[in-house]
Structure 1
Amino acid sequence: MAAPQVFPLSCAVQHYAWGKMGSSSEVAQLLASSDPAAAISEDKPYAELWMGSHPRGDAKILDDRISQKTLGQWIAENQDCLGSKVKDMFHGKLPFLFKVLSVETALSIQAHPNKELAEKLHLQAPQHYPDANHKPEMAVALTSFQGLCGFRPVEEILTFLTKVPEFQFLIGDKAATQLKQSMGGDSRSMASALQSCFSHLMKSEKKVVVEQLNLLVKRISQQVAAGNNMEDIYGELLLQLHQQYPGDIGCFAIYFLNLLTLKPGEAMFLEANVPHAYLKGDCVECMACSDNTVRAGLTPKFIDVPTLCEMLSYTPSKDRLFLPARSQEDPYLYIYDPPVPDFTVMKMQVPGSVAEYNVLAVDSASILLVVQGRVTASTPTAQTPIPLQRGGVLFIGANERVSLKLAVPSDLLLFRACCLL
């Protein structure tokens, strides 16, 4: 009998300190809903759900007919499940890691190296850069989701330099003037001036950063106490970040980077070398399989300032939203297809009036997550239907046809990660 190609997974949870606590976390809610035996600790953060075969969180297979315990082990022995193109291009490995994130406090401001730089950094400092792969990422909001992403237009940064003297002090007059003069020039001189400003900030002495930040926090706090609105310099956000990371240089990064608030279903794509930070909310995230991160602030961890300042993409851009395409073949399917080969994310919103929904067959292994609704999944090769409810995760081998019967007539929200080459 052929090995099953479609089966449910039990996925790893990461309890990072920045995650939402207990049952307030989307990750905890998905876990509790999909596994009645799961006990949620209210005093523990539930930060990330990992759906994939990454060695630090390899999913367990929930199918008695399969001898391998984890998805990584099973794929290693059944590489054809990846699809022939994916198998060849990614050397028999699943090329993506699919996640749900529940963010309570800000994650570090960071960027991920491109492949060429990742190889170099991994050779030079494997203790900080554990692999030689790039790490493009995409986040699709499940709830209102706030993040920083890419450099703002230069005119906005200049406005902050005028309105926030503490920010201007750290950048210095020379770099600020250079940025002002680059306006209206070519993109190269603008990028160079922006790099100079950002490098000045990042290379500031810790003592000076703390002094200026304390001055700014005091000034904003006094204004807020007097009933004044400080939103023109993101007063509330600055106080929030300072409370989470006192004296951290990353607090000033809000004046360099675009602040995005995504509505559910909206996405941001973070290509190599783009500085970003997730601040608050819940999202589905997909990324290439890598752990390489170059940090810039809002972190107690190692900050590699020279590498960071050298590698960043200093292209200012206002519009960082990544829009999905609506499928031509399926009215309920939205496809978020970034300009990298490693992954594509699909969102399926199926109304409760539809009794049965056929999942599009693709020439790639994929992982399906139920965010809302209850279904039973059946395939031509499966002996019995697989029941799935909120939080349920299904592995689907390449080119497998899966049909979902809605168990109750309520709307269905599904996300799926795959690799469309």
Structure 2
Amino acid sequence: MDLLTNTVRPYAWGSTTAIPELLGTEPTGEPQAELWMGAHPGAPSRIVRGGVETSLPEVIGADPEGELGPQTVRAFGPRLPFLLKVLAAAAPLSLQVHPDPVQAREGFADEEERGIPLDAPHRNYKDANHKPELICALTPFTGLCGFRSPGRTADLLEALEVGGLKPYADILRARPEDEALSEVLTAVLSADREAMAGTVEEAARAARRLGSAEGGDGPAARTYAAYADIAGHYPGDPGVVAAMLLNVVRLEPGEALYLGAGVPHAYLSGLGVELMADSDNVLRCGLTPKHVDVPELLRVVRFEPTEPRVLRPVAGPDGEEVYEAPVEEFRLSRHVLTRPDAPRPLDDRAPQILLCTAGEVTVRTADRTPGEDTGRDTGENTELTLTGGRSAFVRAGERVTISGGGTLFRATVAR
């Protein structure tokens, strides 16, 4: 097993303090948005092997089956199929959706054939993989997830009493649900920004007023307050109206949300552990200065109302708490450890990344039966101590135990 050295991505929406507090380091004054753990080429983790520092992708590339296990390589190829992050949002992220596997392959192949550079600002598909993801809150966490039913959204827009929003409310009441959502989102994203600015500002003032009603403590008030906060970060942006089509979701620490293909979403605030398929394919719907490809977005979005399902971990007999998600590339679980003298063994069939988010956790290589073949048995145990924000990569076939007094998140392959 290997201690990981990870990169922090300094996106503008990131918190200046949350990740430093987790790591126990001094803030730099700059936003620290995401801590990446994995083998994604955008910010690969680094490890030390044989006294030499190298990147995790290089280690995996040199011996895919030895690092990932034959089963993982057969299923996903010679790459780590998941990416683990700590995400710290102090401001809303862009509204976005992710493609399904077929859409990702077709979109990537099309842009490759047209010769669009991977780093071009108008490039949609950076790879041929889909990007399902799961976010688990470490602090109270707020986000947008999926379309609200058109009728309820019409009620919400009408309560704002903004004339420029009335045509959207009328469409939401008059059309079948999928057509209504598609027509309104298309109209909002295709609208002239300057022409929409007045409507957005008027809606923002009304949302602030309704968000503070009755002390701002009811569900409706909290919903309007969330939209008012978005408008404060993106004044005049038509994406504010697009955001009003989506459900506002609040997670308490330990709760999670799974986001599948085609579901529009945005994270608004909070600190969380995020696990996703190893992809960087994002189609944006607004709240961003970056490229918004409306025709391609409309091809990918699933125009169906959904009720966000908050996930709570399911505890097994060994104490592992699993966040169930309908995906093969990854599996997220949590161990809350209270006894240093009671080590828990971890399944070794697939590669895993272990992340400590609180306290102190000891990861120790377990003894193997003499003669057992892994191709790596040195007869020596190794040990790592993980504290807040520190993580380790454990290759397939490496049996380890965990113990201590702390919280450990475990990312591995579901299949």
Give the TM-score band, short-chain normalised.
0.7 to 0.9
The question of whether the paired residues in 2 share the 8 Å contact of 1:146 and 1:279 is answered with yes
Matched, 1:306 2:292: no
Rounded to whole Å, the distance in 1 between the matches of 2:292 and 2:359 is 43
Matched, 1:16 2:11: yes
**Offset at residue 224 of structure 1 (A):** 7.7
**Offset at residue 68 of structure 1 (A):** 5.7
What amino acid maps onto 2:71 in structure 1? K
Rounded to whole Å, the distance in 2 between the matches of 1:285 and 1:225 is 31
**Offset at residue 354 of structure 1 (A):** 4.9
State the identity %. Answer: 32
Rounded to whole Å, the distance in 1 between the matches of 2:400 and 2:292 is 46
Counterpart in 1 of 2:370? none
Counterpart in 1 of 2:158? 162
Q: Mean alpha-carbon deviation: is it higher for 96-105 or for 232-241?
A: 232-241
Counterpart in 1 of 2:372? none
Alpha-carbon deviations, 1:203-246, whole Å to 9, x = none? 22222321101222344557789998697364432332122111
Correspondences of 1:234-273 after superposition (within 5 Å): 234-273=223-262
**Offset at residue 391 of structure 1 (A):** 2.1
Counterpart in 1 of 2:351? 365
Alpha-carbon deviations, 1:127-156, whole Å to 9, x = none? 312111111111011110000001112332
Counterpart in 1 of 2:20? 28
Matched, 1:418 2:405: no
Pick closer, same or farther for the CA change 1:371–1:173 going to 2, 3 Å: closer
Pick closer, same or farther for the CA change 1:62–1:214 going to 2, 3 Å: same
SS in 2 for 1:46: coil
Counterpart in 2 of 1:107? 93
The question of whether the paired residues in 2 share the 8 Å contact of 1:106 and 1:241 is answered with yes
Pick closer, same or farther for the CA change 1:375–1:208 going to 2, 3 Å: same
What amino acid maps onto 1:338 in structure 2? A
What amino acid maps onto 2:249 in structure 1? L
Matched, 1:130 2:126: yes
Rounded to whole Å, the distance in 1 between the matches of 2:164 and 2:342 is 59
What amino acid maps onto 1:29 in structure 2? E
Matched, 1:397 2:395: yes
Pick closer, same or farther for the CA change 1:95–1:205 going to 2, 3 Å: same
**Offset at residue 200 of structure 1 (A):** 2.3
Counterpart in 1 of 2:171? 175
**Offset at residue 339 of structure 1 (A):** 1.1
Q: Mean alpha-carbon deviation: is it higher for 205-214 or for 265-274?
A: 205-214
Counterpart in 1 of 2:333? 346
Counterpart in 2 of 1:295? 284
Rounded to whole Å, the distance in 2 between the matches of 1:171 and 1:133 is 38
What amino acid maps onto 1:251 in structure 2? V
Counterpart in 2 of 1:146? 142
**Offset at residue 66 of structure 1 (A):** 5.4
What amino acid maps onto 2:288 in structure 1? T
Pairs aligned (count): 390
Q: Mean alpha-carbon deviation: is it higher for 234-243 or for 11-20?
A: 234-243
Rounded to whole Å, the distance in 1 between the matches of 2:328 and 2:213 is 53
The question of whether the paired residues in 2 share the 8 Å contact of 1:337 and 1:343 is answered with no
Pick closer, same or farther for the CA change 1:254–1:167 going to 2, 3 Å: farther
Counterpart in 2 of 1:36? none
Counterpart in 2 of 1:191? 178
Pick closer, same or farther for the CA change 1:162–1:220 going to 2, 3 Å: closer
What amino acid maps onto 1:396 in structure 2? V
SS in 2 for 1:17: coil
Pick closer, same or farther for the CA change 1:230–1:412 going to 2, 3 Å: closer
> Gaps spanning 5+ residues in structure 1: where?
1-5, 34-39, 183-189
What amino acid maps onto 1:139 in structure 2? I
The question of whether the paired residues in 2 share the 8 Å contact of 1:147 and 1:279 is answered with yes
What amino acid maps onto 2:322 in structure 1? I
Pick closer, same or farther for the CA change 1:369–1:359 going to 2, 3 Å: farther
Correspondences of 1:317-332 after superposition (within 5 Å): 317-327=306-316, 329-330=317-318, 332=319
SS in 2 for 1:69: strand
**Offset at residue 312 of structure 1 (A):** 1.0
Match of 2:324 among 327, 337, 343: 337
> Gaps spanning 5+ residues in structure 2: where?
368-376
The question of whether the paired residues in 2 share the 8 Å contact of 1:171 and 1:200 is answered with no
The question of whether the paired residues in 2 share the 8 Å contact of 1:105 and 1:244 is answered with yes
Pick closer, same or farther for the CA change 1:173–1:388 going to 2, 3 Å: closer
The question of whether the paired residues in 2 share the 8 Å contact of 1:248 and 1:298 is answered with yes
**Offset at residue 399 of structure 1 (A):** 3.0
Pick closer, same or farther for the CA change 1:118–1:165 going to 2, 3 Å: farther
Rounded to whole Å, the distance in 1 between the matches of 2:68 and 2:212 is 58
TM-score normalised by structure 2 residue count: 0.87
The question of whether the paired residues in 1 share the 8 Å contact of 2:216 and 2:225 is answered with no
What amino acid maps onto 1:216 in structure 2? A
Pick closer, same or farther for the CA change 1:79–1:158 going to 2, 3 Å: same
What amino acid maps onto 2:131 in structure 1? K
RMSD: 2.4
SS in 1 for 2:80: coil
Rounded to whole Å, the distance in 1 between the matches of 2:409 and 2:297 is 33
